[in-house]
Amino acid sequence: MRVQVSPGSPITRSIIKRTAWNKGLSKETDERVRKHAALVSKRLTGIKRKPLSPEHKLNVSKGRIRFLKEHPDQVPYKLNHYSKGDSYPERYFKELVKIEDISLKFHKSISIYELDFYNEEKKVVVEIDGEQHYCDKRIVASDIKRTNFLSGLGWRVYRVRWSEYQKKSYEDKNKVVQEIKDLLK
């Protein structure tokens, strides 16, 4: 016996879980992606671009940095953050800081950087990092610059990798809390 189900019915939607058509695919692994890339490339071939001089690139960079310093609410992280609010790990650590009576405040801007948790007196920063901080090369490079910048100003940066922290036992999580407390002594 064969049951006929219409394509938009709740039964069909629950059975067929579709992901994005290009999820995990590349020009090397899928013909559709290859065709799309060729089409985009074809559209762009007639466009002539004048290469930018090093001076022009430097001026653009300085202009962006000046803008971000003058408009801290326009920092790309804040504009592009998926929820435009506190992430779950940030809310978790806010509560943890409160429960454990750790002398850290939440969010502070220094130059173009936004600190997760900080103690200004002790110059300690605690960053709660999602997995993108370890997988995305651009974010890794940005974090290195950020850490070097803050270290140059005398700040000590402590990073918590959220995905690893979640998997820790209760005792190991307490060790992380103790390490943070020790930094503040």
- Residue 126 carries which DSSP code? E
Residue 83: pLDDT band with limits 50, 70, 90: low
* Better pLDDT: 16 or 148: 148
Sheet with 113-119: strands ordered across: 105-110, 113-119, 124-129, 156-161
- Residue 73 carries which DSSP code? G
Mind listing the pLDDT tens digit for each residue in 56-80?
Answer: 989 988 988 888 778 766 666 555 5
CATH 3.40.960.10, domain 86-183, yes or no: yes
Report the distance separating Cα 163 and Cα 129, nearest Å: 8
> Which residue do the tokens 């974010």 mark?
139
Which candidate, 142, 138, 182, 136, places its Cα nearest to that of 158? 182
- Residue 62 corresponds to which tokens in the numbers above? 């300085």
Which candidate, 33, 130, 150, places its Cα nearest to that of 87? 130
CA distances from 32 to 15, 26, 43, 45, 58 (A): 25, 9, 17, 20, 39
> Contact 157/150 with Cβ under 8 angstroms?
yes
Report the distance separating Cα 116 and Cα 32, nearest Å: 41
Mind listing the pLDDT tens digit for each residue in 8-66?
Answer: 554 444 444 445 555 666 666 778 878 888 888 777 777 777 888 999 989 988 988 88
Report the distance separating Cα 77 and Cα 133, nearest Å: 13
C-beta neighbour count of 101 within 10 angstroms: 7
Sequence spans of domains, the chain: 51-84, 86-183
- Residue 95 corresponds to which tokens in the numbers above? 């509560």
Give backbone dihedrals phi and psi of 118, rounded to 5 degrees, phi first: -155, 160
> Which residue do the tokens 């090397």 mark?
28
Mind listing the pLDDT tens digit for each residue in 94-131?
Answer: 999 999 999 999 988 888 888 999 999 999 999 999 88
> Contact 161/128 with Cβ under 8 angstroms?
no
